[in-house]
Each structure stands twice: as C-alpha cells, then as structure tokens.
Structure 1
Amino acid sequence: MDITIHTSVLPHEDPEASLAFYRDRLGFEVRQDVGQGTMRWITVGPPGQPETSILLAPPFADPGITEDERRTVSEMMAKGTYGWILLATKDLDGTFEKIQSGDVEVVQEPTDQPYGVRDCAFRDPAGNMVRIQEVR
C-alpha cells in the first residue's frame, strides 16, 4: 500500500491574518485561494514540497452546524485546543527568531523536552497551536 499525507486542515476565521502568518512568517507558498470574504479556502505549503499542503478552511462552512456546535468550536479555537499542527526545521532557533519578530503569540520558546526533542510553539491568528520541532 502506498499512502502519503496530502493535505491537513486547520480552521481560520480571518483569511488575511492567516495568509500573513503562513505565507509571510512561515514562508509557505499559497497554492490556492478560493471563495470570498471570510469564506475562503486557502491552501498553503512549504516550497519544494508540492505534495504536502495545509488547507486553511472556515470552521463554520457546513450549513448543518448547530449553534451549540458553533459555540463549542469558537471556544476551542480561542483556547488553541481545536486545531494544531507539528512542523519541523533544521534551525529551530533561527526559525523561532524569524517568527516571533512579528505580531504572533509565543506559547513556548525553544525548549529541550524530557522526551528527547527540542521544540517551540506559537498560536496562529485563529488560535491553532503550531509546534515546530528541530530535526537533525
């Protein structure tokens, strides 16, 4: 069996803020940007890796979502517990410096974890947790 990860989905409510973070701070390419207003589906990914993408999608696009579900998702997004992603870099300190130089919420500075990895964490504009792990 030959299975790869093609696209992972993260919610967003502010397309321009999401673009500023993923394109301008992380350096990802914008591969698709469809829709309008806050109902935009934006696909981004690392340069040189066209087979792997993140779809930034509006969390309330499903017309069947109830008001209780909408409230729960909004609360989870505000706490950073709804969506998250783990990225990797060879230069954690350099990556951290570049990202934190902008208007982003730093959750954790580069840290050696007791389970053997070194990582840092931010929240994107939608509240999603973005952890970045150093790979050697």
Structure 2
Amino acid sequence: MTITIHHAFLPHTDPEAALGFYRDLLGFEVRNDVGYEDMRWITVGPVGQPGTSIVLHPPAADPGVTDEERRTILELITKGAYTAVTLATDDLDGLFDRLQTAGADVVQEPMDQGYGIRDCAFRDPSGNLIRVNQLT
C-alpha cells in the first residue's frame, strides 16, 4: 500500500497576490483556478510533481461559519498563526535571496537548526507561514 500527500490547503485573502507569490516567485505551476461568486480556489504545485499540490482557498468559505468566526480566522491567518506549510529546495540561499529581493515577508533568515536541518521562513501575502528546508 502506498499513501501520498496529494493536496494541502492554505487559505488566501487575495487570489492575485497568492498567484504572484506561488506562481511567480516560487515557480509553481497553476493546475486549476476555479471561481464561484466572489471566491477563487487556485491549485498550484511544483513543476514535474503532478501528484503534489497546494489548494489556495478562500478562508472560512463554509456557510456554517459565523461572521465572528470568520473575523477570528482572518486575524489568525494574517498573524501567521492559522496554518503553515514546509517546502524543501536544493538551493535554500538562492531561494531566500530571490524571495527577499522580491519583498517577501521574511520571518527567519537561513540558519542551521539544532535538530539537524538548515531552513528559513517567510509569510505568504495572506500571512501563512512558509518554512523552507535545505535538501541534503
């Protein structure tokens, strides 16, 4: 039996800013872009890895969420406390330089962690925490 991670979900608060970050800065390909009323679900993923995707979704789109709950969720997203994803690259310093030069919100510069990895961290345009590990 094989189990893989097919989709991970991250909320976005601005679909165009999300595309600018994930497509234009990270180089992910857009696999799907679906709109409904004033909401968009955008599926992106690394080129050459069709089995792994991130679905950028409107936060709290569930009709069962109250306005107060929706406000709380948006506050947590913008603080970077709602959700996160960890990516990996074979050129951590190069990716860090590219994202920093483009004005991405740096949380942590590349550093060697005591638990054996080298990583850095950013927030995407919505505030989601994006950690990036150096592949060894």
Structure 1, gaps ≥5 residues long? none
Structure 2 CA distance for partners of 1:38 and 1:89, relative to 1, 3 Å: farther
Aligned residue for 2:34? 34
SS in 1 for 2:99: helix
Aligned pairs for 1:33-52 (under 5 A) are 33-35=33-35, 38-52=38-52
Aligned pairs for 1:48-59 (under 5 A) are 48-59=48-59
Structure 2 CA distance for partners of 1:92 and 1:38, relative to 1, 3 Å: farther
Aligned pairs for 1:105-120 (under 5 A) are 105-120=105-120
Conserved? CA contact 1:21–1:124, under 8 Å: yes
Distance 1:87 1:111 in 2: 15
Structure 2 CA distance for partners of 1:41 and 1:102, relative to 1, 3 Å: same
Structure 2, gaps ≥5 residues long? none
SS in 1 for 2:75: helix
Deviation string for 1:72-123 (max 9, x for gaps)? 2011112101121000011110111111111210001101111111000000
Aligned residue for 1:12? 12
Distance 2:105 2:135 in 1: 23
Percent of paired sites with the same residue: 62
State the 4+ residue runs in structure 1 displaced beyond 4 angstroms: none
SS in 1 for 2:21: helix
Distance 1:37 1:131 in 2: 32
TM-score (norm 1): 0.96
Conserved? CA contact 1:43–1:56, under 8 Å: yes
Conserved? CA contact 1:23–1:44, under 8 Å: yes
Aligned pairs for 1:54-73 (under 5 A) are 54-73=54-73
Q: CA RMSD in A?
A: 1.2
SS in 2 for 1:95: helix
How many residues align structurally?
Answer: 136
Distance 1:36 1:2 in 2: 34
